[in-house]
Amino acid sequence: MSKIVITGGAGFIGSHIAEEAAKENEVVIIDNLDDYYSPDLKQQNLEILLANPNVCFIEGDINDLDLVRRVINDTVDYVFHEAAQAGVRISVEDPFKPNNVNVLGTLNVLKASLDAGVERVINASSSSVYGKVQYLPFDEAHPTMPVSPYGVSKLAAEHYCRVFYEVYGLPTVSLRYFTVYGPRMRPDLAISIFTRKLLANEPITVFGDGEQTRDFTYIDDIVRVNLRLLETDAADGYAMNVGGGHRITVNDLIAHLRKITGSTSEVVYSGRQKGDAEHTLADVGRAKELAGCRPEVSIEEGLAKFVKWART
């Protein structure tokens, strides 16, 4: 049984990784229960996780280096670094917080992990590092030109991970997530907002004309790649896309959800938001080659699962 630390483990993605990892490992969650969205939702996630005796929770902030050092000590084998200040749009309003959390916080996690001699740090990155589209699908060689402070902060964190591997010898992998969705997802994300509105037959607001496209990735596919990295070191030093490998327009997304929910909600179009990417699509070849993982959940299947969960 390995000992795993998961930063941000009370959040959407971190809690799913923790739930699966704790079936065969000791899991320590560190999370500051930030109020970017309701801490009550994170407490609900923790109630699920702490029902497993293999899980323990420490409330704390990754910007507290002394605390991070106490949590990531020489008894720890692996670190999943999921803690972050998320939100493209909020980063445009306040670029300092994502820098403090996503860059300086990551540096603390890496330094503590290096000093503790952990076997690998798996860092949660984002498709936001690509930004301006030069071609699709995005492969990992695509130029990185973020269009938001959030994207810049995640790219900086990736470079720190790479440098800690190349210079200090700390095994690291950065996973570039593409628009993750599923049960327990953040309430501020599009699929979550649209589903709530559709189930209530309330109007939906779409920023732009709805023809922007996204590669949506179901949470189970994200968890699968993360846990695979406990078994292979082939990906050390790399950044890898983790996406669904397909894209649909926002308008088509709403059409899928409308069909599943039977809703009569009207769609209202508004102005585009600063920092939003126009299109995303993942080339998942590297994840298949190095981690032996490919996306398994289609958008239709994933949306049906999410709506079923949302109804409860």
List, for residues 250-308, the tens digit of each pLDDT value: 999 999 999 999 999 999 999 888 777 889 999 999 999 999 999 999 999 999 999 99
Please state whether the predicted TM-score (pTM) of the whole model is above 0.85: yes
Q: Coil, helix or strand for 176?
A: strand
Q: Which CATH number goes with the domain that contains 110? A: 3.40.50.720
Pairing of strands 217-218, 3-7: unpaired
Give CA torsion, residues 28, 29, 32, 37, to 10 deg.
-170
Pairing of strands 248-249, 213-214: antiparallel
305 found inside a domain = no
List, for residues 38-47, the tens digit of each pLDDT value: 999 999 999 9
189 found inside a domain = no
Instruction: Name the nearest CA neighbour of 18 among 92, 85, 79.
Output: 79
Report the pLDDT averaged over residues 232-245.
94
Buried b (16+ CB within 10 A) or exposed e, 92-128: beeeebbbebbbbbbbbbbbbbbebebebbbbbbbbb
Rg from Cα positions in the chain: 19
List, for residues 168-186, the tens digit of each pLDDT value: 999 999 999 999 999 999 9
**With pLDDT > 70 as the criterion, what percentage of the chain qualifies?**
100
What residues are annotated to the active site?
A: 150
75 found inside a domain = yes
- Residue 79's pLDDT band, with cuts at 50, 70 and 90, is very high
80 found inside a domain = yes
229 found inside a domain = yes
pLDDT at 272: 85
105 found inside a domain = yes
Can you give the residue range of the structural domain that contains 67? Answer: 3-181+218-245+281-296
107 found inside a domain = yes
197 found inside a domain = no
pLDDT at 273: 82
List, for residues 23-59, the tens digit of each pLDDT value: 999 999 999 999 999 999 999 999 999 999 999 999 9
Q: How many domains would you assign to the chain?
A: 1
